[in-house]
């Protein structure tokens, strides 16, 4: 392919050629990702066909939203795609943390214990649970919390889990993605084994999976292997980049009924909640989600392979199987983080002229740098990178609605590193 357009946009021949060289070795990986996308695409289409999705589903509703065919059908589409009895998919769920907070507070009562068998959950859940004190936390309502850390090699500590589960243990929360931690992401298979093990000890234990960033990276989801609820954000994978807001909870009828009562009000449940005209984006986004997730996964693997070649430590490595779309790259210095992020920013379709700089973000103990030029604000299924300015100076790179954009972002990041003399080619 002629790389004139790359020269025009600022990627030198040297960087472009290095990229092509690395890509050559990724052929088989990319083929496998395309197969997963093809499988999941068929799964989504089958669910849409089964539920007779039609133009009537795209109509806007307002007010109470009684008898909202579009909303109810979308929830059936999610439930059938993820093979669950029921689903709650709403623009009124404002983000992933909100969806998780609803799922937890709806299914835990005073005196119950919440248990994480895979170590400390995502940052924002600490206040939901009450690990960090907060008004309205689960702790304030008399719900206790315990956790079992992963073993030093990142594997599950089955022996400790056996003794940690007791009669009050009501709900286990399992986070699939590593998020911004350094542990490995769990595969759906690993999650399935963990659920089976815990339910042998306590058959009525409710198992919830924080599915954020994991959807459609594999052919099965945790709900296929025993999870009672899977929970995620629509401005990540399942929104396909088109959903402007929203969250989902898919699971057993019993759990979802309770979630709906918690989200709206006891007695109202899923019957209310106008769709505000967002149905076209939520349907089309879900339709696109398998291929968008594949594009993002390819970008992550390309970044891993390219930065490995340049001598940096990357997590996961370019050869490892993927169970989410997050790529960590340890760049070793603040200057390198700034250069990397300015490359991602310079490749964006929106706000490309902006220069990302480290800043003191509320709630963090070190400066944070973020690069994103997204159509939907804060969307992390779109190409983005961020990280705290502290050793090992790791950037977390994710997203890309198309593989071509992801590729451009990674090449541009290398170019900026080269321009700043932080690498040599």
Residues that bind ligand PLP (CB under 6 A): 95-97, 122, 124, 175, 177, 179, 210, 212-213, 233
Number of residues in the chain: 425
- Give me the least distance between CB of 309 and ligand PLP, in Å please: 28
Please identify, using beta-carbon distances, which residue of 179 and 356 lies nearer to ligand PLP. Answer: 179
393 or 396: CB nearest ligand PLP: 396
Kindly give, in sequence order, each residue whose CB lies less than 8 Å from that of residue 382, ignoring residues fewer than 6 positions away. 241, 372, 373, 374, 375, 376, 399, 400, 401
Asked if residues 67 and 271 have their Cβ atoms less than 8 Å apart, the reply is no
Q: How far is CA 20 from CA 104, 294, 304, 306, 341, in A?
A: 46, 19, 14, 10, 22
Question: Which residue number, 232 or 269, has a Cβ lying nearer to ligand PLP?
Answer: 232
Please name the residue ranges forming H helices in 136-179: 158-164
Q: How far is the CB of 91 from ligand PLP (least distance, A)?
A: 14
For the bound state, the minimum distance from the C-beta of residue 232 to ligand PLP, rounded and expressed in Å, comes to 8
Q: Which is nearer to ligand PLP, 124 or 189 (CB)?
A: 124
Helices (H) and strands (E) in the chain, counts: 12, 12
Place of tokens 């357009």: 5
Continuous segment of H or E residues that includes residue 327: strand 327-330
Helix pair 403-419, 334-346: axis angle to 10 deg: 140
Q: Are residues 252 and 228 in contact, defined by beta-carbon separation less than 8 angstroms?
A: yes
Q: Where are the beta strands (DSSP E) in 113-161?
A: 113-116, 144-147
Least separation, in Å, of the C-beta of 130 and ligand PLP? 17
Closest separation in Å from C-beta 421 to ligand PLP:
34
Q: 65 or 316, CB closer to ligand PLP? A: 316
**Smaller CB separation from ligand PLP, 303 or 412:** 303
The tokens 């502290």 sit on which residue? 390
| Least gap, CB of 326 to ligand PLP (angstroms) | 8
Which single residue brings its beta carbon nearest to ligand PLP? Answer: 96
Q: Which is nearer to ligand PLP, 105 or 177 (CB)?
A: 177
> Alpha helices, DSSP H only, in 173-266?
188-201, 253-263
> Could you tell me which residues are beta bridge partners of residue 397?
327, 385
Residues 3, 16: contact at Cβ < 8 Å?
A: yes
Report in angstroms how near the CB of residue 87 gets to ligand PLP at its nearest: 18
Min separation Cβ 207 and ligand PLP, Å: 16
* Own/partner pairs, 336-340, CB within 8 angstroms, 24+ separation: 336/393, 336/417, 336/420, 336/422, 337/369, 337/387, 337/389, 337/393, 337/395, 338/369, 339/413, 339/416, 339/417, 339/419, 339/420, 339/422, 340/371, 340/385, 340/395, 340/413, 340/416, 340/417
CB of 115 vs ligand PLP, minimal distance in Å: 17
Q: How far is CA 254 from the centre of its chain?
A: 25
Cβ-Cβ contacts under 8 Å for 149 (sequence gap 6 or more): 119, 120, 157
Least Å distance, CB 181 to ligand PLP, is 9
Nearer to ligand PLP by C-beta: 190 or 233? 233
Closest CB to ligand PLP among 210 and 386?
Answer: 210
Which residue's CB is nearer to ligand PLP, number 77 or number 100? 100
């Amino acid at each position: 392919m002629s790389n004139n357009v790359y020269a025009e946009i600022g990627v030198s021949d040297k960087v472009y050629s290095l990229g092509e060289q690395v890509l050559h070795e990724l052929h088989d990986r990319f083929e496998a990702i395309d197969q997963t996308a093809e499988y999941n695409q068929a799964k989504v289409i089958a669910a849409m066909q089964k539920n007779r999705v039609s133009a009537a589903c795209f109509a806007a509703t307002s007010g109470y939203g009684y008898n909202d065919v579009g909303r109810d059908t979308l929830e059936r589409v999610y439930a059938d795609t993820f093979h669950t009895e029921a689903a709650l998919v709403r623009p009124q769920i404002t983000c992933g943390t909100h969806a998780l907070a609803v799922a937890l507070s709806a299914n835990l009562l005073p005196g119950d214990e919440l248990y994480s068998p895979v170590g400390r959950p995502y940052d924002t859940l600490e206040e939901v649970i009450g690990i960090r004190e907060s008004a309205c936390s689960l702790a304030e309502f008399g719900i206790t919390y315990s956790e079992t850390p992963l073993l030093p090699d990142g594997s599950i500590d089955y022996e400790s889990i056996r003794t940690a589960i007791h009669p009050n243990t009501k709900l286990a929360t399992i986070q699939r993605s590593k998020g911004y931690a350094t542990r490995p992401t769990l595969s759906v298979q690993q999650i399935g084994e963990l659920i089976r093990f815990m339910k042998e000890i306590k058959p009525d234990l409710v198992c919830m999976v924080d599915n954020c960033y994991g959807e459609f990276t594999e052919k099965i989801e945790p709900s296929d292997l025993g999870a009672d609820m899977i929970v995620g954000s629509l401005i990540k994978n399942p929104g396909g980049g088109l959903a402007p807001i929203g969250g989902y909870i898919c699971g057993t009828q019993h759990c979802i009924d309770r979630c709906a009562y918690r989200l709206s009000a006891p007695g109202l449940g899923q019957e209310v909640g106008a769709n505000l005209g967002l149905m076209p984006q939520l349907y089309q986004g879900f339709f696109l989600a398998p291929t968008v997730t594949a594009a993002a996964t390819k970008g992550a693997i390309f970044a891993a392979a390219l930065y490995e070649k340049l001598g940096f430590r990357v997590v996961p490595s370019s050869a490892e199987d993927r169970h989410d779309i997050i790529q960590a790259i340890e760049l070793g210095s603040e200057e390198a983080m700034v250069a990397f992020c300015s490359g991602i920013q310079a490749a964006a379709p929106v706000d490309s002229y902006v220069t990302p700089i480290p800043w003191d973000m509320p709630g963090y103990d070190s400066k944070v740098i973020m690069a994103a030029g997204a159509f939907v604000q804060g969307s992390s299924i779109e190409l983005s990178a961020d990280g705290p300015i502290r050793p090992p100076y790791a950037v977390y790179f994710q997203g890309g609605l198309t593989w071509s954009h992801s590729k451009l972002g990674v090449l541009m990041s290398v170019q900026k590193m080269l321009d700043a003399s932080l690498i040599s080619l």
